[in-house]
Amino acid sequence: MRYTISETDRQWAARVWDKLEVKLKAECRRVGPIMPYIPVNGTYEDMAEKNLVWWTNGFWAGILWQMYHATKEDLYKETAEQIGAKLDQGLADYTGLDHDLGFLWLHTAVADYRLTGNQQSRIRGLHAAGILAGRFQPAGEYIRAWNEGQEGVAIVDCLMNLPLLYWAADQRNDSGLKQIAVKHADMALQYVLRPDGSCNHLVQFDTETGEYLDNPGGQGYESGSSWTRGQSWAVYGMALSYRYTLKQEYLDAAKRSAHYFIANAAVNDYEVPIDFRSPEEPVYVDTTAAVCAACGLLELSEFVGEYEKGLYIKAAVRLLRKIDEKFCDWNPGTDSIVSHGSGRYHRESDREVPIIYGDYFFLEAILRLLDRDFLIW
């Protein structure tokens, strides 16, 4: 087993897996090959009908591929394949795409190729990686986040999309693709991550000179605050960049961000707020930050020494246990599992609601603890 946990925790994780299997099989049969986001009155709608390339549209397929890997049941595979095929139109339309190509095609095409050897899905993944590489800005050496009207912006989230470039670089023996990923990660070390382990969400550059201009507030409370999902992207994203490059700076950054996250989460009894630097009242929770951080902590634990691993693994388990105890809906007749996910601090419409990627990261973390996952990143 990759992660040493107590027998009590292992039995708990096994019980959670049993509940996940019942819930997700019922959901798969009921929901089918749509691209869910936030359920309305306990029922998923198809986000693809509004925006085919909305950044979360790969996560349901990611759940299905993780379930297929863990159970070998064709129901999950067949449903995920249909979602992957639907995304072909997103590649064809092109203009709506931004930096989130990894979230979309790692969980669909690349997962498919890794598990089944589907050559068409390999081509899809390579195509998406080429588009992501095309967003690289030489002035400032970063991957541009968004499109018209938001020039010069790089964001911490993109650390989670870099594995698409690392994968494609390996597939094509193309060091240029890897260099783009490394340049963006290096930019994040300088301008996104702070010395204390906290991080900015957004950074703004002059589009002509590449000069650093500002760190706007983004989805957290304000500029200079500490948006927790961004913190989780930093932990997990830097650990993943270390996996693919073995650059010590990335491992050190992941550890610094992890220590910051653990310390702040512990103060709140592992119930993670939307922003670690926001007013004490009102209390707004973001479970998606907690479950993503748990995955990042488990990833990080694989690259540290024997006597350091326990810090990260135990913190991950505490975050996950809090989710299971307080924020899970196990009714197989309703859609979604993890409640109280939050898109951003200052927007009520997606604050403290179930969000599809919360379910994905919760599933991935539990499968990791049971050594039944596969690396989707």
Residue 85 has pLDDT above 90, yes or no: yes
Q: How far apart are CA 147 and CA 99, in angstroms?
A: 9
Question: So what's the pLDDT on residue 1?
Answer: 82
In sequence order, what are the beta bridge partners of 155?
202
In a domain, 375, yes or no: no
90 vs 358: CA distance, rounded Å:
24
In a domain, 19, yes or no: yes
Is residue 1 in some structural domain?
no
Q: Is residue 347 part of a domain?
A: yes
Domain span holding position 19: 7-369
What is the per-residue pLDDT across 119-161, written as a single tens digit (0 to 9) for each? 999 999 999 999 999 999 999 999 999 998 899 999 999 999 9
pLDDT-based confidence at residue 369 (cuts at 50, 70, 90): very high
Query: Domain with 325 in it: what CATH number?
Result: 1.50.10.10
- 374, part of any domain: no
Give residue-wise pLDDT tens across range 275-314.
999 999 999 999 999 999 999 999 999 999 999 999 999 9
User: Residue 371: left if φ>0, alpha if ψ -120 to 50, beta else—which one?
Assistant: left
Could you tell me if residue 356 is inside a domain? yes
Residues of the chain above pLDDT 90, percent: 98
- Mean pLDDT computed over 264-284: 97
Q: Is residue 377 part of a domain?
A: no
Q: What digits encode the pLDDT tens for the residues 154-194?
A: 999 999 999 999 999 999 999 999 999 999 999 999 999 99
Which has the closest alpha carbon to 202: 172, 183, 224, 235? 224
- Residue 94 above 90 pLDDT? no
Look at residue 70 and tell me if it is in a domain.
yes
d(C-alpha 160, C-alpha 244), whole Å: 12
Evaluate if residue 73 carries a pLDDT over 90. Answer: yes
Q: What is the pTM of this model?
A: 0.98
Q: Residues 318-353: pLDDT tens digits? A: 999 999 999 999 999 999 999 999 999 999 999 999
Among candidates 99, 100, 63, which has minimal Cα distance to 80?
A: 63
Q: What is the pLDDT of residue 264?
A: 98
- Tens digit of each residue's pLDDT (9 = 90 or more) over 101-117: 999 999 999 999 999 99
Q: What pLDDT, on the 0 to 100 scale, is given for residue 149?
A: 85
Average pLDDT over residues 225-254: 98
Question: What's the confidence (pLDDT) of residue 290?
Answer: 98
Split into its structural domains, the chain has a count of 1
